[in-house]
Structure 1
Amino acid sequence: MIRVNLLPIKKARRRSAGRTQLIAFALLIILEIAAFAAVYMAESSRLDELKTEVAQNQQKVKKAEQEVKSAKQLEAKQQELQQQVQILDELEKKRTGPVRVLDEVQAMLSPPRNEEDRHAQSRKNWNVEWDTRRLWIKSLEETEGDFEMLGSAMNADDVAEFLQRLTTAEHFDGVQLDYVKATGSKGAKVKLVEFRVTGKLSYTTVPKDDGAKDGS
């Protein structure tokens, strides 16, 4: 009977199977590493893209902030210029305003010079036949936009005519007659009346509607 020793063959098969498993395990590890590497590279690329996008957005934000800052500076400059213009306007009004007011009062106490003046006064319901020498102004004071005017006249009708002229004036507003009172003794040959008028005084010319229109 012939005996064959199969032990070396079995050992060789075991070694071959072990090597195969080892190689398969190594390949599996390599594949996993490759997969992780691919994922890492993809995520790294995505991260770089996000960093670039964030940097671009930051630049946009900085640019927008600069534009907003410039706009605010421009607005502040415009407000400053407007304030300067208002200050200059107020100074101009204070410089030339009183002159215009006095000119207007003088015009109210002057007879019409020609037909054009007569027509303009008639449109304001002024009595063009009124003798302006029958009334005179003693004082005209202005305090913070309020005025007080004191004067004398021959009678109350003269005061009423002057009051009508004041109410249609461009620089006088809210005109109010505070009082009209007679002056002088009973035996005086000439009896006068004194009056006081108050209201608002504006150095800005605001044309008022005429009391009567053309053709009416």
Structure 2
Amino acid sequence: MIRVNLLPTKRKKKAKAVPAFLISMTLLTLAAGIISAYLFYWLNSELSLLTQKKTDNEAQLAELNNKIKEVKNFEEQKKTLEQKTGIIEQLKKNQNFPVKILTEMRNVVPDRVWITAMSISGGNINISGVGFTNEDAVNYADNLEKSQMLTGVSLHATQKSVAGSIVTYQFTITCKVK
């Protein structure tokens, strides 16, 4: 006997073709994920490199700031020492100044002139004296003018005075130290 199968046979369904859009989107998403992961790791390594550079630069900056402080301290010490040296030099110079002035005055005083008063203030010298004649006072002023240490010699006043039988002339001279 022949058997006839009247039941329909099961046919395999054809697999549906995956749309090209879906494949391209999947590949694009996968590529974007790979690129994102690469960028993440690259930026992360750049960040750690820059952080290390920042730390190194901060350490170097702190070291340089310490050196700047040392240099400033040395400059302050140098300035202080220069001031002290200048003061010492000025004191040495001023110590000999009155001696030099008095020596110069002694060298230029004529025989017929006596100095009665002399004052030194700053660079100005005021001299009061007595001579037998006006000419003696003028000669003294001329001698002071010729001096290497003095300048601006000015004979301000002469005044005749009589003491007993002796006639003298009192004078006032001002000058400046060079």
Into which bin does the TM-score normalised by the smaller protein fall? 0.7 to 0.9
SS in 1 for 2:166: coil
Specify whether residues 68 and 94 from structure 1 end up closer, same or farther in structure 2 by C-alpha distance, changes over 3 A only.
Answer: same
Give the number of the structure whose residues are more often strand, by fraction.
Answer: 2
Higher relative contact order (CA 8 A, sep 6+): 1
Specify whether residues 196 and 86 from structure 1 end up closer, same or farther in structure 2 by C-alpha distance, changes over 3 A only.
Answer: same
Please identify runs of 4+ aligned residues in structure 1 that moved more than 6 A. Answer: none
SS in 2 for 1:181: strand
The corresponding residue for 1:81 is 81
Given the alignment of the two structures, is residue 155 of structure 1 paired with residue 133 of structure 2, yes or no?
A: yes
The corresponding residue for 2:38 is 38
SS in 2 for 1:13: coil
Q: Matches of 1:13 and 1:83 in 2, distance apart?
A: 102
Given the alignment of the two structures, is residue 102 of structure 1 paired with residue 107 of structure 2, yes or no?
A: no
Q: Matches of 1:59 and 1:200 in 2, distance apart?
A: 61
Q: Matches of 1:50 and 1:2 in 2, distance apart?
A: 76
Specify whether residues 167 and 64 from structure 1 end up closer, same or farther in structure 2 by C-alpha distance, changes over 3 A only.
Answer: farther
Specify whether residues 174 and 68 from structure 1 end up closer, same or farther in structure 2 by C-alpha distance, changes over 3 A only.
Answer: farther
Give the TM-score taking structure 1 as reference length.
0.64
Specify whether residues 85 and 191 from structure 1 end up closer, same or farther in structure 2 by C-alpha distance, changes over 3 A only.
Answer: same
- Amino acid of the structure 1 residue aligned with 2:151: D
Displacement of 1:29: 5.7
Q: Matches of 1:78 and 1:168 in 2, distance apart?
A: 42
1:31-180 to structure 2, matched below 5 A, reads 31-109=31-109, 132-180=110-158
Q: Matches of 1:153 and 1:62 in 2, distance apart?
A: 77
Displacement of 1:152: 0.8
Displacement of 1:3: 3.4
Displacement of 1:189: 4.4
Given the alignment of the two structures, is residue 181 of structure 1 paired with residue 159 of structure 2, yes or no?
A: yes
For structure 1, the 5+ residue unaligned runs are 110-131, 207-216
The corresponding residue for 2:170 is 194
Q: Matches of 1:79 and 1:85 in 2, distance apart?
A: 10
Displacement of 1:30: 5.3
Displacement of 1:76: 1.7
SS in 1 for 2:111: helix
- Amino acid of the structure 1 residue aligned with 2:132: M
Displacement of 1:172: 3.0
Q: Matches of 1:60 and 1:97 in 2, distance apart?
A: 54
Q: Percent identity, please.
A: 20
Deviations 1:92-138 (A, max 9, x none): 234322112111111113xxxxxxxxxxxxxxxxxxxxxx2111111
For structure 2, the 5+ residue unaligned runs are 1-5
Specify whether residues 103 and 58 from structure 1 end up closer, same or farther in structure 2 by C-alpha distance, changes over 3 A only.
Answer: same
- Amino acid of the structure 2 residue aligned with 1:37: A
Give the TM-score taking structure 2 as reference length.
0.76
Displacement of 1:168: 3.1
Specify whether residues 174 and 58 from structure 1 end up closer, same or farther in structure 2 by C-alpha distance, changes over 3 A only.
Answer: farther
Between structure 1 and structure 2, the one with the greater Rg is 2
Displacement of 1:184: 0.9
